[in-house]
Chain A
Amino acid sequence: MRIIADQSRCIGAGHCIRTAPDLFDADDDTGLVVVAEGELDPSRAGDVREAARLCPNAAIRLHDT
């Protein structure tokens, strides 16, 4: 599974970063969401779902493969 973050929807609220600072970050220049690359440890799926649930503009989802 992977984290999908849509910067075009990001409004910089920061809920994802507060939920899982090791998985989400704000780009230095734009302030928009950036995510940890690559395969997500399945034990972290709950944190990503929580970040997705809190995001006020549906910018985050969990890609289940």
Chain B
Amino acid sequence: MTTVDGDQAVVHDFPMRRRCPFAPPDEYARLRAHGPLARVRLPSGQLAWVVTRHEEVRQVLADPRISTDLTRPGFPQMRPVPEPEPPRLHEGEFFNMDPPEHGVYRRMLIPEFSAKRIKALRPGVQAMIDRLVDALLAAGPPADLAESFALPVPSLGICQLLGVPYEDHQFFQSRIRSRKMVASDAIRVAIGEVRAYIGDLVTRAENSPGDDLLGRLVTERRATGEVSRDAVVGMVLQLLIAAHETTANMILLGVLSLLRHPEQLAELRADPALWPGAVEELLRYHAVADGPAFARLAVADVEVGDQVIGAGEGVIALCASANHDERAYERPGELDIHRGARNHLAFGYGVHQCLGQNLARAWLAISYETLFRRVPALRPAAEVDALPFKYDAAIFGLDELPVTW
């Protein structure tokens, strides 16, 4: 629905819904053709800007006058009933901090996710994924690929990173899967439980630090007084939440997309060196984290094209639209593993660009390569039209993916 506000600008309702699971919402192409900015009304009733084109999304997300601090008055909210007071940030929740505070926390974690560190983790990731495929094959078809594979990859992957003891994996996995919870109260309870559990892990690391992310945070940052205990918990909680739905849904959608492009899948099977490029293209094509994940607030006037985002106005970067911008990509609606789509914005842009992107790339490449190699006859056990796509979720994807082989 569109309306017209006081100064006669067209206002669109936001968020817009995907109609096809393999494309951004149809409206994005129309908004993009019209200009790099558009006015929208959020479920909270607030007005905000959306940024539609690749170049301008990069510009806005890299601009230091564009804040991610959701405690600022006027920050765009997606809830139908706006919170009476601005949300409170827990210590260490640096995703929602601006520089320079943001950098203090991020820098403690950068070495944990560097390209070099992730390369060293790869054999462990391969072994973890092989065990999941072993179990999948042992149980036999049919299976729900979400439950048996796509969700365990990030949860067990995070266990490896944090040094969660093996006997806790089941508990850990069950608590951090919030996908079926829709009521915000239920999410609060679940997050409270996870927060308490992370507190226990920190205690354990303080008593006997391992050679892992948590062990290093505790010995190198916590013991020196550089960071508080609550901040360590906050940092780890944000890592967990950020890793989970994004990775699981990219695994499921990527598997589906490759099965829909058998000629490209055949090339990948014949030449595994093509996987890194294919992962970039799948990230570009699906862009599971879109608008609401990239909500911001302008703290000063910011010129974008021939318009101005005013100080105090909300702005939302449409990364899925940027990834399908005709100005940046030829035939953006087509999947092409040879595209060399390394400049996609699926991980965002600017100082907040995904901290875990190197790990995500490793999880995705190893997941796809291993699944298609070891389960060569893998295919959906239902028509695409009948699959439970999450059209209303903050992170696009699937609740389940029934498969057989």
Binding site for B on A (CB under 8 A): 10-15, 17-19, 25-32, 53-54, 56-58
Establish whether residues A12 and B350, one from each chain, have CB atoms under 8 Å apart when the complex forms. Answer: no
Binding site for A on B (CB under 8 A): 61-62, 106-107, 110-117, 276, 342-343, 347-351, 353-355, 357-358
In the complex, how many angstroms separate the beta carbon of A58 from the nearest chain B beta carbon? 7
In the complex, how many angstroms separate the beta carbon of B339 from the nearest chain A beta carbon? 15
Establish whether residues B111 and A31, one from each chain, have CB atoms under 8 Å apart when the complex forms. Answer: yes
Establish whether residues A57 and B115, one from each chain, have CB atoms under 8 Å apart when the complex forms. Answer: no
In the complex, how many angstroms separate the beta carbon of A14 from the nearest chain B beta carbon? 4
- List 13 extra interface pairs beyond A11-B106, A12-B111, CB under 8 A: A12-B114, A12-B355, A17-B116, A18-B342, A19-B342, A26-B115, A26-B116, A31-B113, A31-B117, A32-B110, A56-B61, A56-B62, A58-B62
Establish whether residues A56 and B110, one from each chain, have CB atoms under 8 Å apart when the complex forms. Answer: no
In the complex, how many angstroms separate the beta carbon of B108 from the nearest chain A beta carbon? 10
By DSSP majority rule, is chain A's interface helix, strand, loop, or mixed? loop
Establish whether residues B110 and A57, one from each chain, have CB atoms under 8 Å apart when the complex forms. Answer: no
Establish whether residues B110 and A25, one from each chain, have CB atoms under 8 Å apart when the complex forms. Answer: no
In the complex, how many angstroms separate the beta carbon of B232 from the nearest chain A beta carbon? 18
Establish whether residues A30 and B116, one from each chain, have CB atoms under 8 Å apart when the complex forms. Answer: no
In the complex, how many angstroms separate the beta carbon of B294 from the nearest chain A beta carbon? 13
Establish whether residues B358 and A56, one from each chain, have CB atoms under 8 Å apart when the complex forms. Answer: no
User: In the complex, which residue of chain B has the Cβ closest to the Cβ of A33?
Assistant: B114
A15 to B350, CA, bound (A): 13
Establish whether residues B115 and A56, one from each chain, have CB atoms under 8 Å apart when the complex forms. Answer: no
Cβ contacts under 8 Å, B348 to chain A: 56
A31 to B354, CA, bound (A): 15
Can you give 24 contacting A-B residue pairs, CB < 8 Å? A12-B106, A12-B110, A12-B111, A12-B113, A13-B347, A13-B354, A14-B115, A14-B358, A18-B342, A26-B115, A27-B111, A28-B116, A29-B111, A30-B111, A31-B110, A31-B114, A31-B117, A54-B342, A54-B343, A56-B61, A56-B349, A57-B62, A57-B350, A58-B62
